[in-house]
Structure 1
Amino acid sequence: MTHSLPTRAFGGFLFDMDGTILSSIASAERSWTRWAEGHGLDVAAFLPTIHGVQSVETIRRLNLPGVDPVAEAHALTEAEMLDLDDVVPIGGAAEFLAALPADRWAIVTSAPKRLAEVRLRAAGLPLPSVFVTAEDAERSKPAPDGFLLGARKLGFAPKDCLAFEDAPAGIAAADAAGMTVMVIAETHRGVMDTRHAMVTDYRDLAIEWDGASLTLEHRI
Structure 2
Amino acid sequence: MTSELRDKYVLFDVDGTLIDAVSNQRRVWGTWAERYGLDAGDVYRVALRTRPMETFARVAPDRDPRECLATLHELEDEDVRTGVYAAFDGASELLHGLPAGAWALVTSNYEHRVRGRFLRTGLPVPGVIVDAVAVEEGKPSPVPYLRAAARLGAEPEECLVIEDAPSGVQAGLRAGMTVWGVNAAVAVEGVHRHFVSLREAVPHILALVSGDHGDAAA
Shorter-chain TM-score: which interval? 0.7 to 0.9
| Cα offset, 1:58, TM superposition | 4.4
What amino acid sits opposite 1:127 in the alignment?
V
2:164 corresponding residue in structure 1: 166
1:134 aligns with 2:135: no
The 5 Å alignment of 1:26-105 reads: 26-51=23-48, 55-56=52-53, 58-59=55-56, 64-69=61-66, 70-85=69-84, 87-105=85-103
Instruction: Find the counterpart in structure 2 of residue 14 from structure 1.
Output: 11
Structure-2 change in CA distance of 1:48 and 1:122 (3 Å): farther
- Give the structure 2 partner of residue 3 of structure 1: none
Aligned to 1:202: 198
Q: Does 1:144 align with 2:136?
A: no
**C-alpha displacement of 1:37:** 3.3
**Using CA pairs below 8 Å that are at least 6 residues apart, which structure has the higher relative contact order?**
1
CA deviations on 1:30-85 (whole Å, 9 max, x unpaired) are 01111123334443343244359764564466562232334234323323323421
* Distance in 2, Cα, partners of 1:92 & 1:210: 16
Aligned partners of 1:103 and 1:24: how far apart in 2?
26
Deviations 1:125-155 (A, max 9, x none): 1111111111101111121211110011111
Aligned equivalents of 1:82, 1:120: Cα separation in 2: 12
Cα RMSD after superposing both structures: 2.8
**2-structure distance, mates of 1:147, 1:53:** 20
Q: Which runs of 5+ in 1 are unaligned?
A: 1-8
The alignment-based identity, stated in percent, is: 31
Q: Do 2:105 and 2:130's aligned partners in 1 also have CA atoms closer than 8 Å?
A: yes
Structure with the bigger percentage of helix: 2
In structure 2, C-alpha distance between the alignment counterparts of 1:55 and 1:210, rounded to whole Å: 35
Aligned equivalent of 2:22: 25
User: TM-score, normalising length from structure 1?
Assistant: 0.80
What CA distance in whole angstroms lies between the structure 1 residues aligned with 2:86 and 2:33? 24
Distance in structure 2 (CA, Å) of the matches to 1:153 and 1:51: 30
Distance across 2 between alignment mates of 1:42 and 1:167: 25
Q: Structure 1 pair 194/38, CA: closer, same or farther in 2 (3 Å)?
A: same
Instruction: Specify the alignment match of 2:3 in structure 1.
Output: none
CA distance in 2, matches of 1:78, 1:168: 26
Amino acid at match of 2:81: L
Aligned to 1:112: 110
Give the alignment's TM-score, normalised by structure 2: 0.80
After TM superposition, list the pairs within 5 Å mapping 1:178-197 onto structure 2: 178-185=176-183, 188=184, 191-196=186-191, 197=193
SS of the residue corresponding to residue 110 of structure 1 reads coil
